Amino acid sequence: MAIPRRTLLKTAAAASLAAPSIASAQAGAGRVVVIGGGFAGATAARTLQTLEPKLAVTLVEPNRVYTSCPFSNGVLAALWEISQQRFGYDGVVKTGVTLAQTAATAIDAAAKTVTLADGNKLSYDRLVMSPGIDIDWTALPGYDEAAAQKMPHAWKAGDQTVLLRQQLQNMEDGGLVVMSSPANPFRCPPGPYERASLITYWLKIWKPKSKLLILDAKDTFSKQRLFQNAWAQLYPGMIEWVPLSKGGKVVSVDPATLTLTTEFGRHKAAVANVIPPQKAGAIAQQAGVADRSGWCPVEPVAFESTLRPGIHVLGDAAIMGGMPKSAFAANAQAKVCAAAIVDLLAGRKPVDPILINTCFSLVAADYGISIAGVYRPDKGQLVEVPGSGGASPLDVVGGYRGQEALYASSWFKTITAETFG
């Protein structure tokens, strides 16, 4: 099934709104617990409750307010404030979901219970886990939680984003910003390159003698030619990208001297943004749904764990075949999973889904690019439909990039409204 890219882009935001149409489950619908109130979990909880009002849906989330990673690179570039990244859970509660404002600390898959940090225990018929990522603090010598206060990762938005922005603002003009980007898989494949672009957008205005160096553990990256063409056009001589094969992989860091060491040399930074290797949120390991890779294998229809039946894993924590770890994907998976759970609880077989993902990136305030794909189950995996999707064209005329920047901000408004109400 080939879907032309233009049609896909136009329908992407609308598609992300369209909850699957489904008949109501029979009475006595059951109890579903959702762990993690991010793009996947909050969407799953709201959709479950909307599709089947008789369900008892509980969302377990320790934070009163969610801080969004999408668009947080714009905070670094002072395009908007961190307050615009924040969303509460009133809209989730309004749909009838019960909010347990605490963390899940243990899962007993045999007894079908979740233990909470406040001492309570919840029973479930189906459990949804969407705890997002944790930084793998064992993966990069020198990089621990204390080091992250000197060399912020800012890969979980919030205090880390604010810290990195402050460091950039305090840096002298002429300073070197060094970023490190990890090997796949990791949260938001185009994210490091959007960040490099927007930091440089800001440097060009406020600290034009400064430069940005990206040390990469990969030889290729998402939307690479689009990014590199834009860098040559907008920021000539300001961004240097060092791939794996040229010695880009960072093997250790020293927070005391802000030094990043690669196999080929040492780089001393004025500001260092270390994006380290990641894994599924810790509760996934505790529940036994993560494998040795650190991520959670699932089947491609209801996203049920292949390791622990009855537990569904969504979003960044899961291994979703060809689908990238994005908020767009997390939201789409959550809607599919909610519909499948309603079916399963009513004794029906869930239908094979088709999912869309689109990742927008800003290269400057008024310069957007995107990549899109369509995915469906095939041989136990989610695979990209051949001929679907694609990236923004390399050569464009007129206001095309400006239009895509507008699409990006419309998408952000849509996805956050849909996730948090």
Ligand X SMILES: Cc1cc2nc3c(=O)[nH]c(=O)nc-3n(C[C@H](O)[C@H](O)[C@H](O)COP(=O)(O)OP(=O)(O)OC[C@H]3O[C@@H](n4cnc5c(N)ncnc54)[C@H](O)[C@@H]3O)c2cc1C
**Interface contacts to ligand X, rule CB under 6 A:** 35-41, 60-63, 66, 69-70, 72-73, 103-104, 130-132, 155, 187-188, 191, 195, 281, 283, 315-317, 325-328, 330, 359-360
HSE-up (13 A, CA, CB side) for residue 55:
32
Give me 409's structure tokens.
């901000």
What lies within 8 Å, CB to CB, of 388 at 6+ separation is 1, 2, 3, 8, 372, 373, 374
Euclidean distance between CA atoms 389 and 375, whole angstroms: 10
By beta-carbon proximity to ligand X, the closer residue of 25 and 230 is 230
CB of 270 to ligand X, least distance (A): 21
By beta-carbon proximity to ligand X, the closer residue of 132 and 152 is 132
Contact by Cβ (8 Å): 342, 22: yes
- Name the helix (H) or strand (E) containing 402: helix 400-420
Question: ∠ CA(353), CA(355), CA(357), 5° rounding?
Answer: 170
CB of 209 to ligand X, least distance (A): 26
Q: Alpha carbon of 398 to those of 53, 394, 395, 401, 404: distances in Å? A: 48, 13, 10, 8, 12
Euclidean distance between CA atoms 389 and 145, whole angstroms: 39
By beta-carbon proximity to ligand X, the closer residue of 130 and 305 is 130
By beta-carbon proximity to ligand X, the closer residue of 35 and 344 is 35
By beta-carbon proximity to ligand X, the closer residue of 152 and 350 is 152
Euclidean distance between CA atoms 132 and 187, whole angstroms: 9
Euclidean distance between CA atoms 361 and 330, whole angstroms: 17
> What are the φ/ψ torsions at residue 411 (nearest 5 degrees)?
-60, -45
CB of 278 to ligand X, least distance (A): 10
CB of 247 to ligand X, least distance (A): 25
CB of 21 to ligand X, least distance (A): 24
By beta-carbon proximity to ligand X, the closer residue of 247 and 277 is 277
Euclidean distance between CA atoms 260 and 32, whole angstroms: 45
CB of 57 to ligand X, least distance (A): 15
By beta-carbon proximity to ligand X, the closer residue of 23 and 65 is 65
Contact by Cβ (8 Å): 215, 248: yes
By beta-carbon proximity to ligand X, the closer residue of 12 and 301 is 12
By beta-carbon proximity to ligand X, the closer residue of 35 and 239 is 35
Euclidean distance between CA atoms 386 and 222, whole angstroms: 18
CB of 269 to ligand X, least distance (A): 19
CB of 96 to ligand X, least distance (A): 20
The residue with its CB nearest to ligand X is 38
Q: Dihedral of CA 228/231/236/241: which sign? A: negative
What lies within 8 Å, CB to CB, of 327 at 6+ separation is 38, 39, 68, 69, 70, 415, 419
By beta-carbon proximity to ligand X, the closer residue of 25 and 250 is 250
CB of 227 to ligand X, least distance (A): 14
CB of 2 to ligand X, least distance (A): 23
Instruction: Give the residue from 21, 40, 7, 30 showing the smallest Cα distance to 419.
Output: 40
